[in-house]
Amino acid sequence: MSVFDDVNNWEKTDGANLFSSILNVNDPVILDYGCGSGNYSFAAAQAFGQKCKVYAVDINKQCLDYVSEKSKDEKIDCIIPVEGREDYRHEFEDGFFDLIIYADMFHGEEKTYNGLHRFVMIEEAKRTLKEGGILAVLPFHLSNFRDKNKKKCKYTYKKLIDEISECGFKHIEKDLEGIHFEKVYSPYYQQKGGVTFDSLERGKILVFEK
């Protein structure tokens, strides 16, 4: 079994369970913003069968092509690849989504709005979620964040929870874990012989209600 088989298996098991335990809606509309290789989109599709719609947004066309190809291979037609915007605004109307997931999207790199793009993303989540809709955030790189004044600042889960709550979300305590999939697709690690599924970093998924 390759790490890719393990990842596919995760999407159908633990990944799907993750989404079922976050959201109790029959045919939800979901946004996976910055979907990358789409692991969270596929897990959501597995959780709700083909009844849901998952908008998989990324600015990188290669990611969207990868998601499209994999959807075809797996005969999944509820995932809709959408091109993202430089400014992190969503091309969706107000109150459109039941669930938005931002997996590994927050960090403090200067090139992305001085690391302040998360504030735009949180604002857009507030706008495009339905009342009672769920925002799920899986943050990594917490030690590399910036505060509102663009200053490098070590974050903790608590500090991020407080910040998102201040933007009008209600934190819901859940014991959920997500996976940092980046290394699976990284040419650097592939050249070094790849990674094992068990060695991938795990992190807490923070859940909020609008």
Ligand X SMILES: C[S@@+](CC[C@H](N)C(=O)[O-])C[C@H]1O[C@@H](n2cnc3c(N)ncnc32)[C@H](O)[C@@H]1O
Q: Decide if residue 206 touches ligand X (CB under 6 A).
A: no
Closest approach of Cβ 172 to ligand X, in Å?
21
101 with 41: CB under 8 angstroms?
A: no
65 with 87: CB under 8 angstroms?
A: no
Binder of ligand X out of 28, 34, 139, 203 (CB under 6 A): 34
Of 22, 181, 185, 192, nearest to 100 by C-alpha is 22
Q: Decide if residue 203 touches ligand X (CB under 6 A).
A: no
Degrees, nearest 5: CA angle 161-164-165: 80
36 with 67: CB under 8 angstroms?
A: no
Kindly tell me which of 75 and 111 has the beta carbon lying closer to ligand X: 111
Closest approach of Cβ 95 to ligand X, in Å?
21
In the shown chain, the binding pattern of residues 66 to 105 toward ligand X, with x for contact by CB under 6 A and - for none, equals ------------------xxx-x--------------xxx
Tokens 């430089």 belong to which residue? 86
Q: Which two tokens stand for residue 23?
A: 């959201």
Distance of CA 70 to the CA centre of its chain: 18
Binder of ligand X out of 18, 47, 57, 164 (CB under 6 A): 57
Q: Decide if residue 39 touches ligand X (CB under 6 A).
A: yes
Kindly tell me which of 133 and 203 has the beta carbon lying closer to ligand X: 203
74 with 12: CB under 8 angstroms?
A: no
Give the residues lining the site for ligand X (CB under 6 A): 34-36, 39, 57-60, 63, 84-86, 88, 103-105, 181-182
